[in-house]
Amino acid sequence: MKFRRSGRLVDMTNYMLHHPHSLVPLTYFSEKYHSAKSSISEDLTIIKETFEQHGIGTLLTVPGAAGGVKFIPKVEYKEAKQFVDELCELIAKPERLLPGGYLYLTDILGNPSIVNKIGRLFATAFGNRKIDVVMTVATKGIPLAYAVAAQLDVPVVIVRKDSKVTEGSTVSINYVSGSSKRIQTMLLAKRSLKEGSNVLIIDDFMKAGGTINGMISLLEEFKANVAGIGVLVESEGVEERLVDEYISLVKLANVDIRERNIQVMPGTYFQLVKDKKIGEN
């Protein structure tokens, strides 16, 4: 059975979208559709042009016998800015302010469509780094970590603050929470992370950075490397930030709990894109 170009384009688009950052040999498609490699190449050119034109991402062609094509998801600056502006507006509502300067984000983090867009943004920012695994801490960061990992085609590991019988033996560290200055514990299942892994840390909220700093210490225990840090919301106005290098999408400033006032603005992501430090081809 032969497949027409129109049908191939639809099925290939579906396949590429479901396999980001994976190298797909051209023979995979030519065998699946009983089509010549030259026809598949033409199909891929159409898909690449359409992806780029509509801000979906791009296709990278890797030449040679071990070559193929790779889908790199990518959000354009304009779309990213518009999305984060909407997010800022959503977050700026005073009823979100909770005791301790925390923010009610449960509804936003409970929306898979928003979460997946956030994943695409971070995948754009970190897409050109070598990443083996995405790490987060239970529980709010979990959906964000999966959304990023799906776009980067890597697994997720979840650090916990309590031990679970269903994970086997664990490695634990103590860390100082940046804002409350209390000593806390976090742990990770021994078999969940290989030595030398390049780890992207993702979390929903960062104040002083104590939790993220804890994850960095944990990575040292596993002899793993920090490949990047991404947070959805960072809160400004902290005397001493424990973490220097990170990408945030949203920044809070002038949090005034008594007056129920917050100022919400786009995070470091946009400055870094402008400075051409992230999101490059």
Question: Structure tokens of 168?
Answer: 């086997």
Q: Is residue 115 at the binding interface for a copy of itself, with CB under 8 A as the rule?
A: yes
How many residues sit in the footprint of a copy of itself (CB under 8 A)?
Answer: 57
CA–CA separation, 44 and 175 (whole Å):
49
- Is residue 46 a contact residue for a copy of itself (CB under 8 A)? yes
Q: Which residues is 235 bridged to in the sheet? A: 252
Angstrom distance (rounded) from CA 46 to CA 59: 10
Asked if 28 is part of the footprint of a copy of itself (rule: CB under 8 A), the reply reads: no
Q: Where are the alpha helices (DSSP H) in the chain?
A: 5-18, 26-33, 37-53, 77-91, 106-109, 112-126, 142-152, 210-221, 268-274
**What's the rounded Cα separation, in Å, for the pair 44 and 41?**
5
Give the residue, chosen from 76, 79, 132, 153, that forms a contact with a copy of itself under the rule CB under 8 A: 153
CA-based nearest residue to 117, from 92, 142, 78, 84 = 84
Counting contacts by CB under 8 A, is residue 205 touching a copy of itself? yes
Q: How far apart are CA 181 and CA 175, in angstroms?
A: 9
CA-based diameter of the chain, in Å?
Answer: 70
Give the binding range for a copy of itself (CB under 8 A) out of 8-16, 195-203, 248-256, 264-272: 8-16
Is 149 a binding residue for a copy of itself by CB under 8 A? The answer is yes
Quote the least distance from Cβ 213 to a copy of itself, whole Å.
19
Task: Please tell me whether residue 189 binds a copy of itself under the rule CB under 8 A.
Answer: yes
Of 88, 150, 200, 232, the residue at the interface with a copy of itself (CB under 8 A) is 150
Q: Give the binding site for a copy of itself (CB under 8 A).
A: 5-7, 9-11, 13-14, 17-18, 46-47, 49-51, 53-54, 56, 98-100, 102-107, 110-113, 115-116, 138-140, 142-143, 146-147, 149-150, 153-158, 160, 165-168, 189, 191-192, 205
